[in-house]
Structure 1
Amino acid sequence: MPRAENPAIEDYLKTVYAHTEWQVDPITPSVLAAKLGVAPSSVTEMVKKLAAQGLVTHAPYRAIRLTDVGRDRALAVVRRHRLIETWLVQEFGYGWDEVHDEAEVLEHAISDRLLEAIDERLGRPRRDPHGDAIPSADGTLPSEPFVLLADARIGHVGSVIRISDRDPATLRLLDEAGIRPGCELRVTDAAPDATSVALVSGGDAHPGVALTPSAAESIWLTA
């Protein structure tokens, strides 16, 4: 049977969690409204409901933070989303630039039983097609030190941990350049208008690739 959770609540919790997954600044109501594409007044009302349910803490005009219970709920949604993305790529031949919107819909619809079956069929994957860690059923989420490519120093060598799925066009460009989670990059140049990297394999560096600031801000490397 479909799940009985409120999709709007799940979207809010997931968005609050995702904002701080790769950086430390908590999310503000205005940023949350922008990310969800809703009016600030709608955020105000929903945050009041979430706080009343013990899912977030929030003082007027201040940042919004998940409680422990809220974080557990958020991670459950994140798990569903990332498993569905992985399922669509591995079982149905979707491109990694095509799965985000599909998963946004399906994460609210499939049953827990089906999700468990998907996880088992896929061999309990640890990361989705973009490199994002998939929380375990008990909410455990692995992490490791990282650096955003846009902030990496010249000469830094690191493996790609994850690539943001927010822009399908950027995913397609990176795919054409051979940049995927797991590949190793060396930063060869950094300027305000571009960051140049070289793919490293077998100890050899291949010809450099110039990335736009937007692309460089979409790639996380091992630190």
Structure 2
Amino acid sequence: MIIAVDGPTASGKGTVAKNLADHYGLKRLDTGSLYRAVGLAVLDAGGEPGDACAAVRAAEELDLNAIDENRIRSSAAGLAASKVAVIPDVREVLRRAQIAFAADPVGAVLDGRDIGTVICPNADVKLFVTASLAERTRRRLAELHGRGEQISFDELQAQIAERDERDMTRKDSPLYQAADAHLLDTTSLSIKAAAQAAYAIVDAALAARKS
């Protein structure tokens, strides 16, 4: 079983995907972490994330098993990710890695921005997770402050809005809800409630496929 989970920054898609993977006993790939890792690698090398050559090189050298989950969660890594993500050749390199991950017959949960539309268009179940801009900003702000990173609500909200715009308007694999994806708005949901809602969507979708 392949479950595709898409959505914008801080919508809760990663948490929903993790809960789904645990609940159904599937492996999971946070595809957004790949772009964050590539962007961070370019920054670490003293480059500019918008430099296609540097970004492609970093994507080709990326080790999926050596991603520093702590460092890639910084606001700088997030902005760098949105810049490398608009580079077609970077997307192609990472697309191949994602498709290979999803090809495992055991099944998987993948979350990102183009899973249900590009990476796994034939996924058994697709979810599009979203939340209001203000709520997404609040969540990410709490995360960054918890890491000791100082940034104002207004500045962060502007960054997230900028990333939304870049993700939704890029020519290659833009962010949008697949026609057959189930919408899950987590704005007013707790983590547990969002997970329960996701389970219900998946169970109903699987039941419909069997009927």
For normalisation by structure 2, the TM-score amounts to: 0.27
Q: Report which of the two has the higher share of helix.
A: 2
